[in-house]
Chains A and B, each alone.
Chain A
Amino acid sequence: MAITKDDVKYVSTLARIQMNDKELEAFTGQLDTILEYMKKLNELNTDKVKPSSNILDVKNVQRQDELNTPSLTNKEALAEGPDTEGEFFKVPKVID
């Protein structure tokens, strides 16, 4: 077993994904199969390989500190929001 039902439950809570018991069972099985398969990589000898954090062989990509691309207008910015009021996005109150 590469992953347990409790692990999946915990991760789903963190990710705000609700699952019923049937789904939990199914996803645990599927994730376990995937992770077991990926374990194959552990068989490789990586003693001489430097750790990497990026798959591209690129580094130090930066832009100048200049206002080249204009920002959105307030109307454009709010257009994709599910709920807005005035110039703001509107969300359920987060403190009590």
Chain B
Amino acid sequence: MEYEAVIGLEVHVQLNTKTKIFCDCSTKFGNPPNTNVCPVCMGMPGVLPVLNREVLHKAIIAGLALNCEISAYSKFDRKQYFYPDLPKNYQVSQFDLPIALNGYLNINIEGRQKKIGITRLHMEEDAGKLIHEEGAGSKSSFVDFNRTGVPLAEIVSEPDLSTPQEAYIYLNILKNRLRYVKVSDCNMEEGSLRCDANVSIRPKGVKELGTKAEVKNMNSFKAVEKAIEYEIRRQIKAVKDKEKIVQETRLWDADKEITISMRSKEEAHDYRYFPEPDLVPMEADKKWIEELRKDLPEMPDIKAKRYMDEYKLPQADADLLTSEQDIALFYEECIKHYDNYKTIANWIMGELNQYLNKKKLLITELSKLTSENFVKLVKLVDSGVITGKSGKEIAADVIEKGVDPEKITEEKGLKQVSDESEIESIVDEVIKENPEAVENYKKGKTTVVGFLVGQVMKKSQGKANPQVVNKLFKDKL
């Protein structure tokens, strides 16, 4: 029998605000333990939490970026459970009236488009951090409440995903969109994005859903993809072996690349949600929401599609250029000056990206880089005024110091020499100095021409036009 998988994702992103969701404590990462805390976030009796307006603001923007409807009326609820990282013994979350509902993202998979529904987006507070004492016989865990009350948005997808690859693409679009609208850094390694996957299988063609397992503990999108892949294989094997699939939470083990059941002793999840009496309801300001909607930038996946349609870029290029908004905006600036779309894309993905990676910089940190100079550089190479090699050599100065590539070409005398008579003397010199190579060439070992051309390039300090040099050798030998 053939099986298909049904996958739903729950993504938590940290909304990037200066202070926590219900108190003035800082959200700064890396402060000493238990110093970003106050009576409100530690759940002391008698305190009054007040919603941070910026959390609501960013949650609404996130909802809009994911094509959600923003709720006209929304409220917070208490989700009750006991765990040492939760000082109040309840988490303030949203239950039946979340801030945003009914969104979707379109993903492109092997040339066809698939719509993935987003059930809801709600606001909630993060829990604290537990550090477990190491070693056999250890009896204690240590609690740091700095993260307690850090604002999160939980984004729940419909079970519309059918393959690990679809889940991977969905996550990338979700992340890129939330980064474009600047509500979250979405950095999985730093914990500002977490993803749990609900996975089940069913025989192909069957409507009812199978029993699902919730898979947690993945620390990258690739890990999410692998964990889902493993989980599908495990469930299919279990069914074929006539084992019963149980509803449970499973942890991804990145070293062994398997999921392991969390056989916890916890009782049935019964969170007994009820409205949070200390926080008043939120009624949407329709005008404000419409303004926010109008201010949304062109979304990265839409932009990528436009790059493919308008600029005829391959999908890989379009995806890469649009994954960082500031890179995409720079690209768009550049092509205003020069319409060789693919060449500009190559230079941005090549020289510029390499430079940024090497120096661990963001493009916004390059205060002297201008699109005018960058395009001038591309044009100089493209039109053959300087060689590609010279172009690469001066690229760093253009990118970092903002020098005018035309000026530096003059100053350094980098102009490519294409005039045959000028190059001819060097070619003759090289022929005279390398009788052995010349002999080999004449015997039919034509590959030595590369070596000879290299010698000419060296003598001309890289300025000789390699094509002209090549031609001259062929004529002379």
Query: Which residues of A pack against B, CB within 8 Å?
Result: 13-14, 16, 53-56, 58-74, 77-78, 80, 85-95
The listed residue with most B CB atoms (<10 A of its CB), out of A55, A64, A91, A95, is: A91
Within 8 A of A (CB), among B24-47: 24-26, 32-39, 42, 44
B contact residues around A64 at 8 Å (CB)? 52-54
17 contacts between A and B (CB under 8 A): A16-B82, A54-B281, A55-B277, A63-B52, A63-B53, A65-B19, A65-B54, A73-B35, A77-B37, A88-B144, A89-B145, A90-B140, A90-B141, A90-B142, A92-B139, A92-B140, A95-B141
> Are A77 and B145 in touch, CB under 8 angstroms?
yes
> Within the assembled complex, what's the spacing in Å between the Cα atoms of A23 and B149?
37
Main secondary structure of the interface of B (DSSP, over half): loop
Q: A59-B280, A93-B140 are in contact. Are A14 and B130 (CB under 8 A)?
A: no
Is there an interface contact between B52 and A89, defined as CB atoms closer than 8 Å?
Answer: no
The answer to whether A59 and B34 touch (CB under 8 A), given A88-B143, A91-B143, is: no
**Nearest Cβ distance between residue A63 and chain B, in whole angstroms?**
5
Asked whether B17 lies within 8 Å of A94 as measured between CB atoms, the reply is no
Residues A93 and B144 in contact, CB atoms below 8 Å apart:
no
Q: Min CB distance, B334 to chain A, in Å?
A: 36
Give the size range of B's interface with the partner.
35 or more
A69 to B379, CA, bound (A): 56
A65:B42 contact, CB within 8 angstroms: no
Shortest Cβ gap from B440 to chain A (Å): 71
A interface, over-half SS: loop
- How many angstroms from the CA of A59 to the CA of B50 in the assembled complex? 12
Query: B43-84: contact bitstring with A at CB < 8 Å (1 yes, 0 no)?
Result: 010000011111110000000000000000001000010111
Query: What is the minimal beta-carbon distance from A91 to any residue of chain B, in angstroms?
Result: 4
Residues on the A chain within 8 Å of B42, using CB: 77
Q: A62-B51, A62-B52, A88-B143 are contacts. A67–B24 as well, Cβ < 8 Å?
A: yes
Q: Determine which of B23, B52, B270, B282 lies in contact with A69 in the assembled complex, contact meaning CB atoms within 8 Å.
A: B23
A71 touches B38 (CB 8 A): yes
Contacts of B18 on A, CB cut-off 8 Å?
65-67
Task: Please give me the residue from chain A that is nearest to B284 by CB atom.
Answer: A60
Are A60's CB and B282's CB within 8 A? yes
Mark out the residues of chain B between 263 and 312 whose CB falls within 8 Å of any chain A CB in the assembled complex: 267, 270, 272, 275, 277, 279-283, 285
If A60-B282, A65-B19, A86-B142 are given as contacts, then 19 extra A-B residue pairs at C-beta distance below 8 Å, sorted by A number, are A14-B270, A54-B277, A59-B280, A60-B280, A61-B51, A65-B52, A67-B19, A72-B38, A80-B44, A85-B142, A88-B33, A89-B84, A90-B143, A91-B84, A91-B140, A91-B142, A92-B140, A93-B132, A94-B132
Contact bitstring B125-146, A, C-beta under 8 A = 1, else 0: 0000011110000111111110
With the chains together, A65 CA to B25 CA distance in Å? Answer: 10
Q: Fill in one digit per residue for B4-21: 1 if any A CB lies within 8 Å of its CB, else 0.
A: 000000000000011100
Chain B residues whose C-beta falls within 8 Å of the C-beta of A72 in the assembled complex: 35, 37-39
CB-nearest residue of chain B relative to A68? B24
